[in-house]
Structure formats: C-alpha cells, structure tokens
Structure 1
Amino acid sequence: MPERSKSPADDPFGGRKPTSHERMTGLSWDASYHDGPAPWDIERPQPAIVRLASEGAFAGAVLDAGCGTGENALHLAALGLPVLGVDVAETALTIAREKAGDRGVQVEFAAADALRLDRLGRGFGTVLDCGLFHTFDGDERSRYVRSLASVTERGGTLYVLCFSDQGPGTGPHPVGREELGAAFAPGGGWSVVAVEPDRVRTRYHDDGAPAWLATIRRI
C-alpha cells in the first residue's frame, strides 16, 4: 500500500523542531491564532514600540522578528520605514497581510524561523524583538542570539522588549536583567547600551506586565 503523503496537519511545526514554549504548551505557535487573538495579540502596537518610533529610534531597513499579526511592523511601515516582519505562524502572517491591504500600508511579511534568520540572506539596520526572547530556554536563547547577529548590520541596533522578573504580576517566562547582559555579551558581537524597566501589554494585563526594554548595539 503506497505511503500517504503528509499534509500540513500532520506536522504543525512545518518540519522544524518544536520550541521549548511549544513543547510546554503542547501547541504550535500557529495554533495560538486559530481560535481568536492570541494572549499577546492586543490588536494594536505595543506602547513601548510606538514611543521608540516617535523618538526616531528606528533607522534603515527594519526586521520585526516574531511579528505575529503585524501591529508593530505595520506601525513602523506607516511611518515610511522599510519593514520585514517574520514569523513561523502562517495564520498570523495571513492576518498581518490582510491588515496591510486594508490599511494601504506597504510592508513585507514572510515565514521564517527566528532561530535561522541567516536564511533570509539580508541585513537590517534595526531589529525588533517584541515578546520573543523570553519564550526561549537556555540552549535556544544562544542559538537565537547568533541568529539575530547574522542579520543585524554592524553598528545596527536591536531592541528587545521582554517580560521582567521584577515587580508583581509578572508574565510567563520572566527574564532577569543579568540574563540579557549574559545573552548579548561583547564576545558574541554585542554591546548592551541600556536595559530599562517598561511594560508589555497583553490581553490579560490591562496595565501591562513588568518588562525590560533593552537597547543593544551590534559591534
């Protein structure tokens, strides 16, 4: 009897190894978007990212790593910046593209594994990580940092907005300030410019959860 060809439903992870977050929840990232907005999808850009953009923090080509349904990428693109948003969740990317069409915003969205950004074959002056770094465990984190290094131009800037371990009401996978410093060490080609307290809005945190906003330079 001939072997049945595999469909996407047979492998919800698209041929890649599930991340620690996916193994913990038992769901692929894509499945998070199947029954309405995901917990982190507030259907508007994160206030911290809006503030950064208003301060002129984004320059050159911009990569939004783990863009979800695209609100941050769309906000930056609407300001006239060339933006590529990438994610492994095809459902989220479909929603992002529909938003772009409805709003008349010129922005690019593509499926890509954040742990293999080198496959993009491109470089960016500014890279944004809004809520992705904190989902990775130790081994994944080192791979992710190397992946970011492969696409962040020398002298370029990486912004990381992640859950903090400081204060009440912390989100899942909280990160310590020292963990950011250890991950983005000079030996890996990075210089941590600043790590400031901030907030991450979610569907379960009306006033946001404690967060770190890290400004990191590629050296």
Structure 2
Amino acid sequence: MQDRSGRSTGDADDPLTGRRPTSHERLTGLPWDASYHEGPAPWDIGRPQPAVVRLAAEGGFTGTVLDAGCGSGENALHVASLGLPVLGVDVAETALAIARAKAGDRGVEVEFAAADALRLERLGRRFDTVLDCGLFHTFDAAERSAYVTSLASVTEHGGTLYVLCFGDGGSGTGPHPVGREDLRAAFDLADGWRVVAIEPERIRTRYHDDGAPAWLATVKRA
C-alpha cells in the first residue's frame, strides 16, 4: 500500500492499483510514478535507446508489439513510427500521460495503458514482438520468475522477446546489474523459451553519456 505521500508502506496488494509494490519500490519507499514527478526520470533520455533503434532498423520488430515498462514512451513511439501496432504499458500514470502527449504532438498512432508487468495476462492479448528495455533488472530473483511467467502469457508462440538490462561487466554499471547466466536461467527451455543470443550492449541514461554496461538478450517463445 501507499501512504498519502505516495510512499509504499508494505507488501500487501494496494486496493487502489490492485498490485503489490515491487522490491525496488519497497527498497526506495517510493512508487515508480514518483520518478516522473520532478522532471525526467534517470533513464528517460528523451529519445529511444540506440540499441532499440538499431533493432528496428534491422527489422527486429514485426507484427504486434508490446513495450513492457514503456516509461514516457520513446521506444514505443519509435517502433510505432515505422507503421507497426504498438502497445506500451507501465505502472507509472505520470509517465503514460507524458507518452500520450508525445504521441499526440508527433502524430504517431500508438496505444499506452496502465498495466502490472507481473500480471500481463490481464491484458488478454498476445504479441509477436515484446520489448523489455530496463525493466528486468529492477526485479529481485523471486519477481523475475513471476515476470517471465507473465511475459509468456502475452508472447505469441514463435514470437520474439528482447531484454535490454544493466550488465555486470566493467565499471560504471547500473544500480541493478544482471549476469549473463541470470538471463539464461530466467528463460529456461523447459518453460518454452529459447535464448538465441545475449550480447554486450550499452544503456544510455541521464548519468551515463556513453551508456552503462548492459546485455541485450534475444529470446524466442516456443
């Protein structure tokens, strides 16, 4: 739940949002929405991530697209500008409002909606391509398992999932680094996933001009 300031106060489901605060929210004592209350969030660079732009240029996004944890919408807007149907979801209503305003200003047709990434099955939809840019690394081990199950519920069989997350290699890594083996373990073949590639990448933030060490995982849904 949250107190009047919007701070997370426990592990029970919030009766207003219908979801449980994540480990990151419990650690910081603040809901994700608070990140957007006083200017751009640390990860909001005002443009799509270069890795996402490159994937799009290479034809990596096809069919219907889901951007899980879309924030203020830059990645979703970029993919939608290519003519693909895109849904961006986030728990931060302020970020979604900013994303919708950007879409209107730019004349880009894209859908944004509030949704809990740990319960994506509630969307009642499936997607050919799913993007996670900077969400996976915010979850602890227990949440990651639930998140991967949630992703499976919305990824079409034969569909592609891209995960761009802070990596554990080199200096200047992000606040929640993930190891290559953490990614492989999360997307187990027995659960219907096939890890195609895990490649070194960089995530741009407002504090990393040249990007923080990251992994870009390409995962197929069987």
TM-score surpassing 0.5?
yes
How far off its partner does 1:11 sit?
Answer: 7.7
Structure 2 CA distance for aligned equivalents of residues 68 and 218 of structure 1: 24
Match of 1:159, SS?
strand
Distance 1:191 1:124, change over 3 A: same
Match of 1:191 among 170, 181, 194: 194
Establish whether residue 204 from structure 1 lines up as the match of residue 207 from structure 2.
yes
Q: In structure 2, what is the equivalent of residue 150 of structure 1?
A: 153
Establish whether residue 83 from structure 1 lines up as the match of residue 91 from structure 2.
no
Match of 1:126, SS?
strand
Q: In structure 2, what is the equivalent of residue 113 of structure 1?
A: 116
How far off its partner does 1:15 sit?
Answer: 3.6
Q: Is the 8 A contact 2:137 2:177 kept in 1?
A: yes
Q: In structure 1, what is the equivalent of residue 74 of structure 2?
A: 71
Match of 2:44 among 35, 41, 45: 41
Structure 1 CA distance for aligned equivalents of residues 136 and 190 of structure 2: 19
Structure 2 CA distance for aligned equivalents of residues 11 and 123 of structure 1: 33
For 1:145, the aligned partner's letter is V
Establish whether residue 171 from structure 1 lines up as the match of residue 163 from structure 2.
no
Identity within the alignment, %: 77
Q: What TM-score, normalized to structure 2?
A: 0.93
Structure 1 CA distance for aligned equivalents of residues 136 and 191 of structure 2: 16
**Structure 1: where are the runs of 5+ without partners?**
1-5
**Structure 2: where are the runs of 5+ without partners?**
9-13
Which digits, 9 at most, give the CA deviation of each residue in 1:55-108, with x for residues without a partner? 000000000000000000000000101000000000000000000000000000
Distance 1:171 1:7, change over 3 A: closer
Q: What TM-score, normalized to structure 1?
A: 0.95
Structure 2 CA distance for aligned equivalents of residues 103 and 87 of structure 1: 20
Q: Is the 8 A contact 2:7 2:29 kept in 1?
A: no
Structure 2 CA distance for aligned equivalents of residues 24 and 200 of structure 1: 23
How far off its partner does 1:33 sit?
Answer: 0.4
- Equivalent residue pairs, number: 214
Match of 1:208, SS?
strand
For 1:148, the aligned partner's letter is L
For 1:133, the aligned partner's letter is F
Structure 1 CA distance for aligned equivalents of residues 198 and 76 of structure 2: 22
Which digits, 9 at most, give the CA deviation of each residue in 1:30-71, with x for residues without a partner? 011000000010010000000000000000000000000000
Q: In structure 2, what is the equivalent of residue 3 of structure 1?
A: none
Structure 2 CA distance for aligned equivalents of residues 101 and 141 of structure 1: 34
For 1:38, the aligned partner's letter is A
